Amino acid sequence: MTNVLLEKKGHYAVATINRPKALNALNSQVLEDLDELIGLVNADEEIRALVLTGAGEKAFVAGADIGEMSTLTKAEGEAFGKKGNDIFRKLETMPIPVIAAINGFALGGGCELSMSCDIRICADTAVFGQPEVGLGITPGFGGTQRLARLISPGMAKQLIYTARNIKADEALRIGLVNAIYPAAELMAAAEKMADTIAKNAPIAVRACKKAINEGLDADMDEALVIEEKLFGSCFETADQAEGMGAFLEKRKHEPYQNK
Ligand code: CAA
């Protein structure tokens, strides 16, 4: 992988989309490297949370690669959309939490990439948008679906139909990001959050992600059953015994073992 870097830091890791000369635009190679990265992280039991960011100071990801897309046929366009959608769905359904640390432009496929993560925080320099209709296409890596689910459908439609870019403060106001940091402090904040998550009981954290994601796709009665089963499954873990035992014995729990 040359287009995506992975750095392990204790029980969390930082992944960086690394194509800064093209503002980290997503061509087929970057997408394939991202797919490989997801496989590597999923196979590594030590990694309990992931931070995803972009290389350089200007961009998280400035979109899918316009040069590569410019000559696609109808069938090739559909296949390119499927490639991005399949990989972003794998990212969204990774067992561990993923924090997008949005360090600059998050346009088109870049905004869509951030929306496939669990949590979005950004630099005060970040810019968001779905500029696709200005290029003669629709958002193609989940933007029409995830933006409308994440913020209000009316605001999602306004952003997508107008192709207007918004700054960090507006992204915060409409609920697209959870917090804004001075650019120089963004990575420290993202890593602190990942470290905090990684110190909690990992099986329980993964169960929470699964319950929230799967519950959102189900009706309330089914969703509550999903929660009950995952809640129950925690009671056969050593980390639950340690966490509750420590509380009752009025001591700090030992580091969680992921067991
Ligand atoms: N695809 C390919 N190359 C891109 C790119 C993209 N999405 N975004 C930036 N680049 C390249 C530029 O072509 C340029 O390369 P060269 O130096 O070789 O000319 C380099 O990155 C630097 O970019 P700029 O010179 O344009 O930098 P800037 O500071 O003047 O402008 C910008 C920054 C406003 C982000 C501008 O680059 C831009 O508008 N980029 C395109 C944004 C966009 O439309 N994204 C959506 C793509 S469509 C999509 O993503 C579809 C989908 O949903 C799957």
Q: What is the mean pLDDT of the chain?
A: 98
Nearest Cα neighbor of 106 from 70, 77, 146 is 146
CB 135 within 8 A of CB 66: yes
Q: How far does the chain reach from its first CA to its final CA, in angstroms?
A: 31
Cα distances (angstroms) measured from residue 127 to each of 51, 63, 74, 164, 255? 19, 12, 30, 10, 39
Return the half-sphere exposure (C-beta side, CA atoms, 13 A cut-off) of residue 91.
30
Q: Which sign does the torsion angle of CA 188, 190, 191, 197 carry?
A: positive
Per-residue pLDDT tens digits for 216-255: 999 999 999 999 999 999 999 999 999 999 999 999 999 9
Question: Active-site residues: which are they?
Answer: 112, 132
Q: For residue 24, report the distance from its CA to the centre of ligand 1, in Å.
A: 9
Region 101-108: mean pLDDT is 98
Residue to mutate (ligand 1; options 18, 31, 66, 146; most atoms within 8 A of CB): 66
Q: For residue 105, report the distance from its CA to the centre of ligand 1, in Å.
A: 9
Residue 183 binned pLDDT confidence (cut-offs 50, 70, 90)? very high
Partner residues linked to 98 by β-bridges: 50
Residue 131 binned pLDDT confidence (cut-offs 50, 70, 90)? very high
Distance CA 19, CA 3 (A): 6
pLDDT of residue 1: 86
Distance CA 17, CA 2 (A): 9
pLDDT of residue 84: 98
Q: Is 52 helix (H, G, I), strand (E, B) or coil?
A: strand
Instruction: Label residues 171-205 b or e (16+ Cβ within 10 Å = b).
Output: bbebebbeebbebeebbebbbebbbebbbebbbbb
Helices (H), 56-152: 66-69, 74-92, 109-115, 143-150
Q: For residue 244, report the distance from its CA to the centre of ligand 1, in Å.
A: 51
Per-residue pLDDT tens digits for 193-210: 999 999 999 999 999 999
Which residues have any ligand 1 atom within 6 Å of their CB?
A: 22-23, 25, 62-67, 84, 105, 107-109, 112, 131-132, 135, 139-141, 143
CB 67 within 8 A of CB 26: no
Distance CA 246, CA 104 (A): 43
pLDDT of residue 38: 98
- Give pTM, 2 decimals: 0.98
Q: For residue 152, report the distance from its CA to the centre of ligand 1, in Å.
A: 27
Largest CA distance in the chain: 66
Region 94-121: mean pLDDT is 98
Distance CA 98, CA 91 (A): 8
